[in-house]
Structure 1
């Protein structure tokens, strides 16, 4: 079995578990935002998750890097992969439904291919990849709504902020590939989240004041879920699936997250999606299928 072709039943279960964990995180974050501000939500996410991952590092007796160069890379990674996207997407979720946020989040894979093609010589933009990127961006525009893009009202600005977060994720992916090679995933994630906390805390103090601690049980439950389960545990599961299934198969998670988030948003917050958002997701999904390339390869083999 190769990572890009067939998957075992256990790997499929882990992929589905990862999609469910991340899909539910959109609801958890939106629930916490009923009581706390966006940057406070970021602090509450990265701080506890960093503590859990350092505990994992200690239990596994993994070596901790001391070189300033590595910690500088962690700092940039924490900014690009945590502080910027978590902050932008949390603010965006104040004005956009959880389901639509999860659909726009799928643009991360589209940006990732585009950024990688500009940065890495072995990730050139082939014809079918270019078609996938174009179709993906058409899906994003359709999900937002062409009229909303022209109007630039608060909701469309929130959607643009979410897309800014997905671009930041893609830049983080390229940065991590270039500067964090050879590190144990648990150490890389712990270092990144630690630096994200060091960046987010003073920013939160300056713009929002001290992160509140007198919160309702409902908010603490939401924070506990998105910090400990959807961040710390999800990072560990992500790297496990990546090692077994490969990055191509991990793109399937991007397609599996929105149905989970949409269903939970409808059940617990009474959210509904426009036909444009659903059509946009269909176009995005088509773009991701083109980027994956397996359907085209199968058709080529059949026709030969």
Structure 2
């Protein structure tokens, strides 16, 4: 079983910042693009950046004929599907039918889904009562933060189906992280680049089919937003995600989903002068307690090492 280090906690915080900021970026990009087009453009740009980066640094995927070559390529394609293309498509469709906060709740359920799947699939990732209690407390914190409005009915015919689809998207992210963990040893940069290339091949045709090509170029702000989405919460985040799941495991990585709504609210307050909800303090307290309980052993070892030094 792997034990998270200070670097792992730092990477987790950076990923939370990137993903939290992406909500604001998507809201700006929606002024000029459809949701699937945003997903396609950011994934394609992220793939291009990572391919150039991998090539420039001399990193490459193993040949299919190499030992574990087929397994590595299959894992990269599966990660591209489950961590990018499929959940982006599912959420893009489902959010038209559910209350705006429900997607956030479904993403907050991802640590619980990951814990259950990893128990059966990943060596050393076992369900313990402490971990389960911690993750449930963290989930409660997100529910307090988002509030009961997430469960209000929209009255649309496909609402119940869309709610299941949102939960399926959360399960996809869990599967993607487990696939990356189980993949045979491979260069992280090449693996991340291949995963995004695979996701591009999957999502671009769907976006073109559903939303077509814009007849005119949108204004500068939505275009800039898509570019930033492609760089930070897609390209850089993909590399960091692969690094973190290989170092600390999928259950630890899944804790990033508890940070995302907090970062989104803080950035909205600082940059857009949005009001912070009155439930924020209680939500933060529950989330921090949940993370501390679920990672109590790792935190104890971390502080013990700092004391020794």
TM-score (norm 2): 0.75
Matching residue of 1:203: 206
Verify the 8 A CA contact 1:24 1:264 in the aligned structure 2: yes
Kept after mapping to 1: 8 A contact 2:72/2:186: no
Q: Paired residue for 2:187?
A: 184
Task: Tell me the residue number matched to 1:65.
Answer: 62
Structure 1 residues 130 and 16, CA gap change in structure 2 (3 angstroms): closer
Q: Deviations over 1:244-282 (max 9, x none)?
A: 878787667555543331122235556556556765554
CA distance in 1 between partners of 2:4 and 2:77 (Å): 36
Any idea what the Cα deviations from partners look like across 1:41-80, whole Å, max 9, x if unmatched? Answer: 1101110111111111111112333425543333322111
Supply the distance in 2 between the matched residues of 1:196 and 1:55 (Cα, whole angstroms): 17
Aligned to 1:122, the other structure's residue is in SS state coil
Q: Which residues in structure 2 correspond to 1:126-205 (within 5 Å)? A: 126-143=128-145, 145=147, 149=151, 151=153, 153=155, 162-178=166-182, 180-205=183-208
* TM-aligned CA distance change 1:37 to 1:281, over 3 Å: farther
Give 1:35's aligned residue: 32
| Distance of 1:275 and 1:118 partners within structure 2 | 39
After superposition, the C-alpha distances for 1:84-138 in whole angstroms (9 at most, x for unaligned) are 2233445667799999966764443333222211323532211112222333444
Looking at structure 2, the residues matched to 213 and 77 of structure 1 have their Cα atoms a distance apart, in angstroms, of 33
Cα 1:274/1:89, change in 2 over 3 Å: farther
Distance in 1 between residues matched to 2:184 and 2:89, nearest whole Å: 26
Query: 2:6 maps to which residue?
Result: 7
- String of CA shifts for 1:215-244, please: whole Å, max 9, x gaps: 211011111111012211233344556678
Partner residue of 2:49 out of 39, 48, 52: 52
1:99, 1:273 within 8 Å by CA — same for their partners in 2?
A: no
- The residue matched to 2:286 in structure 1 has which SS? helix
Label 1:161 to 1:144 Cα distance change in 2 as closer, same or farther (>3 A).
farther
Q: Which moved more, 1:223-232 or 1:255-264?
A: 255-264
Equivalent positions of 1:234-245 (< 5 A) are: 234-238=237-241
Number of residue pairs aligned between Structure 1 and Structure 2:
294
- C-alpha distance 110-70 of structure 1, shift in aligned 2 (>3 A): same
The change in CA–CA distance for 1:83 and 1:15 in structure 2 (over 3 A counts) is closer
Q: Distance in 1 between matches of 2:168 and 2:279?
A: 20
Deviates more, 1:263-272 or 1:42-51: 263-272
CA offset at residue 190 of structure 1? 0.8
Residue 201 (structure 2) pairs with residue 224 (structure 1): no
Q: 1:157 and 1:132 mapped to 2: Cα distance?
A: 29
* TM-score normalised to structure 1 length: 0.76
